[in-house]
Structures are given as structure tokens and as C-alpha cells.
Amino acid sequence: MKIVRNKQTKVAVYLFEDNDVVELGELLRGPGVSASDISSDDYEIAVGPAPAQWAGRALAYDSGWTVVDQELLDVELAHQMQEQQSQAEANAAKLVNRRLSIRQTIVQRAEQERLKYITPGYGKAMVYTAKHEEAKRLASDAAPSAADYPLLAAEVGITASDLAGVGQSVLNTAGAWLAVAAQIEKNEKVLLVALDNAVTLEEVDGVDVNAGWPAAS
């Protein structure tokens, strides 16, 4: 470390890294510092190790570090601890907010993937459910009547030429949808678990919300 200290008392006023450019003449210039009250008349630059604890004007360096103002050192350490705690709290809040944001993104993405295969709307979902129920009943009906299967009968001549063909088409579609829905559900859960297991902000940001979704057919 580069130690700016008083020539007489050896009390250190500034610390700089070894590779920092520091100029001491009529005033002191260094990274983030321009001090007109520090000049080469009374101060010098020494080289030594970093102290275990630091507060300007609280320590002296002369072949080793000694405390010259314990009260000043205690005040500075308390201030540093308060700053560290505030920063830790801010980082924790940022992590929580980022996690919530990415969680929402994953859930929304899963729904977007589902909507690639189904028509949105509560009413339409009820129709699909009722139609599927009709198709399942039809599959075991030895003597079906179109009147008993109004939703399937409405598609005769459109989806298939007869009631049995419509029912089979509905069952095939439902089976294909369940397979895709299972893939979407699994990937959503995988991403959410990865997010929950992420500890740092970097790990949270590293959860790839675009990975693993089934390719649309």
C-alpha cells in the first residue's frame, strides 16, 4: 500500500493501492482525492502493508501500524459497519425484487406456450372439456345416438364424416395436448426450482427463462 503520513508523527491520513498514481507536492493528488491541506512540506509517501482496520488520522505507520486515536477508529468502524449493513439490506431487497420479476416472467412464458396450442377464454375451455367428455363416453357407447353427443355431432361432416371419427379426432387432439402440456408444466417447474435455488443476484440472472420449452409443431 502507498501510505500518506505525517513526517513527524507518522500518522497516516490516506491509503492508496500500490498501482495508484499518487502525487504529493504543493497538494496531494490521487484517485478520488485532491487535498490542498496535504503537501510535501509536512507529509510523505511510505510503502507498507494494509492495516487490519482503517480510519484516516487514527493510525500511525512506522515499520508497523499503531493506533493513535481509538475513539476516532471506533467511530469510523461503526460507520463502516452501518454502511455495510445498509448495502447488504439494499442487495437483499434487490435480490427479492429480481427473483419476483423473473418468476412472473417464467409463469407468463408458460402460459404463452400453452396458448400456442389452445384457444384462450373460459367459455372455450368449457366447450373443450365438455367435448372431451362426450368423446370419452362415445368410445364405450355400443349404440350411440347423435342426440346424446351434441358437440361432437356439430362437427360431423367438418372434422370427420361420422360421429365416431369426430370422437376419435377429439381424443387424439386431447392426447397430443396433454403431452405438450406436461412438457410445459415440467419446464415451468424446473425453471422455478432453479430460481428458488439461486442464492446470488448473478445466479438469479443466470436462470434462462427461454430454455427448455417445447418446439411448436
**Each residue's pLDDT expressed in tens, for the chain with a length of 217 residues:** 999 999 999 999 999 999 999 999 999 999 999 999 999 999 999 999 999 888 998 999 998 999 999 998 888 888 888 888 888 888 899 999 999 999 999 999 999 999 988 888 889 889 999 999 999 999 999 999 999 999 999 999 999 999 999 999 999 999 999 999 999 999 999 999 999 999 999 999 999 999 999 986 6
With cell 455495510, the residue in question is 84
> Where do the structural domains in the chain lie, given as residue ranges?
2-68, 82-205
Sheet strands (E) in the chain: 2-6, 12-16, 23-24, 28-30, 33-35, 43-47, 59-61, 65-67
For 128, residues 6+ apart whose C-beta sits below 8 A from its C-beta are 118
The predicted model scores a pTM of: 0.59
